[in-house]
Amino acid sequence: MLVYLDNSATTQPYKEVTHTVAECFEENYGNPSSLHRMGIKAEKAVKAARKIISASLRAEENEIIFTSGGTESNNMAVLGAADALKRYGHRIITSSVEHPAIINVCKALEEKGFDVRYLNVDDKGRIDINEFNEYYNDNTILISVMHVNNEMGTIQPIEEIARYKKKNEKVFFHVDAVQSYGKIEIFPGNTGIDLLSVSAHKLHGPKGVGGLYINRNVNIPPLLFGGQQENMFRSGTENVPGIAGFGKAVEITFSDFQNRIERIRKVKEYLTEGIKDTIKDVRINSYEDQRCAPHIVNISFLGIRGEVLLHMLEQADIYISTGSACSSKKRSKSHVLKAAGLSDAEIDGAVRFSLSEFNTIEEMEYVLEHLKASVYRIRKIMRK
């Protein structure tokens, strides 16, 4: 049995997505900018995807820009907002647990003289709104806080943050919703969010395609200059197969949404409870209530290295992660777990299980059986 539990890194595309993408490659391969029928057909596919995605966010169609993924959307939002508002101030507020596609952009902005404040988090990775209050001042031009943390699953208090910025047009609020899109409903226009990043491959869509919601009252400069596609925000011939596949993935995810999400949460809870009941010396690093996204649980198995466990489970065709996909190949310790104040032993023994709607209780029984045996074996070897 193959059990894929690394869905925060990427997901298996829906069959319908694969078909949509293949159809674009085989038949609908025109350039949306071309004036002939083939161009118009391709343009229609892009338009249809934009309609589905904007509806899922209760946004207007012209508020959605297609990009090459979450990383580009985050870069465009933060660099663009900083550039657009630099005449009003230099303070940027973000958190210490953001994805590198935010943290490293902020570091680059610090080099250029911006004053970036990184909010601390509690032991489950959640920011404290009181600290936010301390940092927020007249010099603030940008707030960028993720909706769901990719390593711990923690949901940040986005609505509370949005209250600070409401009606202040000199502050932009950006949300990295890459991990929450398709798992937790979020309507940026109603919430007071100006910019919101999403990515297709986290919700059973293709890799290399994403979106940026840009509120209709917000103007930021583009990252790329060229043929002025995407309403001049993002030049370059549209990735039609990717965009059409993204639209299909969103259409499926948002149909019967609540039931899909409840199923994922139930399967995750079954796994978490099973681990707590059968394996000793574990620490559940994620919140175990509604403050955690339905699909992620981070757990430390004390006395072992997460990486060793990962490879042992791989032999049983079970796929997990030690941290985020982007940081787990680097040997440095997770900046997220460090920010949450975990001890070295807790960080070393931490693994992330991230689920999707394809996972079942039967699979979790298989995982529990192998997990128990693997943890026991590794601990035994370590004691020798």
Residues that bind ligand PLP (CB under 6 A): 69-71, 74, 99, 101, 146, 150, 176, 178-179, 199, 210, 324-326
As given in the structure block, the two tokens for residue 359 are 């996972």
Quote the CA–CA distance of 121 and 118 in Å, as a whole number.
Answer: 10
User: Which C-beta is closer to ligand PLP: that of 68 or that of 168?
Assistant: 68
Catalytic residue check, 326: yes
Rounded to a whole number of angstroms, the minimum distance from the CB of residue 100 to ligand PLP is: 8
User: Which C-beta is closer to ligand PLP: that of 90 or that of 204?
Assistant: 204
User: Which C-beta is closer to ligand PLP: that of 182 or that of 274?
Assistant: 182
Residue 128, classed as helix, strand or coil, is coil
As given in the structure block, the two tokens for residue 88 are 């009003």
Q: Helices (DSSP H) in the chain: which residue ranges? A: 15-26, 37-56, 70-85, 100-111, 129-135, 158-165, 188-191, 240-253, 257-278, 306-314, 325-328, 335-339, 344-348, 361-383
User: Which C-beta is closer to ligand PLP: that of 210 or that of 349?
Assistant: 210
* Residue of 24, 106, 292, 326 marked active site: 326
Which helix (DSSP H) or strand (DSSP E) does residue 212 occupy? strand 210-214
Contacts of 289 (CB under 8 A, 6+ apart): none
Give which of 36, 24, 23 is closest to 238, Cα–Cα. 24
Rounded to a whole number of angstroms, the minimum distance from the CB of residue 172 to ligand PLP is: 18
User: Which C-beta is closer to ligand PLP: that of 333 or that of 379?
Assistant: 333
As given in the structure block, the two tokens for residue 185 are 């409903």
Quote the CA–CA distance of 194 and 269 in Å, as a whole number.
Answer: 34
User: Which C-beta is closer to ligand PLP: that of 9 or that of 275?
Assistant: 9
Q: Scanning the structure block, which residue is given the tokens 């104040």?
A: 341
Quote the CA–CA distance of 188 and 204 in Å, as a whole number.
Answer: 22
Rounded to a whole number of angstroms, the minimum distance from the CB of residue 11 to ligand PLP is: 11
Rounded to a whole number of angstroms, the minimum distance from the CB of residue 246 to ligand PLP is: 11
Rounded to a whole number of angstroms, the minimum distance from the CB of residue 276 to ligand PLP is: 26
Strand 282-284: give its sheet, edge to edge. Answer: 282-284, 296-301, 350-354
Rounded to a whole number of angstroms, the minimum distance from the CB of residue 73 to ligand PLP is: 8
Q: Which residues have a catalytic role annotated?
A: 326
